[in-house]
Amino acid sequence: MTGGPSADRPAADAPLIPEGLDATLVLVRHGESEWIVEQRFQGQSETPLSPLGRRQASLVGARLARPHDAPSLPVPGGWPREIVHSPLSRTRATAIAIADAIALEAGVDPAHAVSGPTALRPDSGLLEIGQGEWEGLHTDEIARRWPDVLAGWRRRPWEVWAPGGESPAKVQARVRPALAGVLARLGEDYPRGTVDRPQVGGYAGVGAPPDQPWSILVGHDGVFKVVMLTLFGLPLTHFWMFTMGLTGITVVELRGGRPVLRAANLSEHLAPLADEAAREAAERRSRSGAL
C-alpha cells in the first residue's frame, strides 16, 4: 500500500525538526471501526468506521473547524495547511470528515473541498503497526493461541511483537521520514524562531502566534505512540507511555525547533455522545424500575 510521494520527504540523514521551526502539529486518531466493536486486532487490515465512528469523526471535524470556540484548543489562527493521513479507510474517512467540516466553515461546498483551504495528503508512513497473523482475530483467540507472545507484546513491545508483524523499530523507520516531510512543509515560507524567549505559561510571548502554520495528522493509536516517541526523542522502551482515544486530539507545538506538548488526548467534543448514552441508560433504568 502506498501514499505520499517520496519526493516530498527530506533526505534520510536530514534532521527531523528543521532548525528554529515554529509550527503546530495536531494528532487525531480515527473513529471507532467495525473491528473495534468486534474486539478484533486491526493492524493494517481494512475495516470501515462503525456508525458510532462516523459520528465521532463528524464531531472531531466540527471541533477542528472551529478550534477557538470555548474551550479553545492551543492551535494558531487560520486554517491548517494540510491533513496528512494513513491511507487506510478508517483514517481516510476520519480525515475527509475533518476536511469537509473545515471546507464548510470556510464557505466551500464540501463536494468541491479540493478547492478548500486545507489539502488532504495520504502517507503510508502513518499506516498502523502491522499485526501479522493477529490481524482480524478476536483478542480472546490471540490470548488463547499466543499467550506468551501477547504478554511479551504488552510488557516488552520493543522485543516481542505479533508473528509476521512489525516491530516498533521497523515502524519508526517509516514514521521518521514521513514526519520529517510534514515538518519540512510546515516550515516553508515562515520565519524561523528561537528558544531564547519566554517559555513558561502565563508570561507574555508564550505560545503560538496567530499566523503560525499548523497541520493535522490522522492516524492510529500504535503508530502515534511511535510518532510521539520520535518527536520527543524518547526510546522505544517507552512505547506504552502515550495513548490516543478514538478521535482524541493531541497538540504538539514546535518552539524554535523544540517540541512542547500542549494538549494530550482531548475528547470533550465527544460529550454529546456521552450525554446521549447517559440518557439512554437512565431511560432503561426507569423502564426496569431500578433506582
Alpha helices in the chain (DSSP H): 34-37, 51-65, 89-105, 139-145, 147-155, 168-186, 221-231, 271-288
In 3D space, the residue among 291, 178, 278 whose CA is nearest the CA of residue 224 turns out to be 178
Look up residue 8 and give its three cell numbers. 516530498
For residues 42 and 214, give the distance between their C-alpha atoms in angstroms, rounded to a whole number: 29
Peptide bond into 71 cis (omega under 30): yes
For residues 228 and 237, give the distance between their C-alpha atoms in angstroms, rounded to a whole number: 13
Catalytic sites, residue numbers: 30, 128
Exposed, middle or buried by CB within 10 Å (0-12, 13-18, 19+), for 229?
A: buried
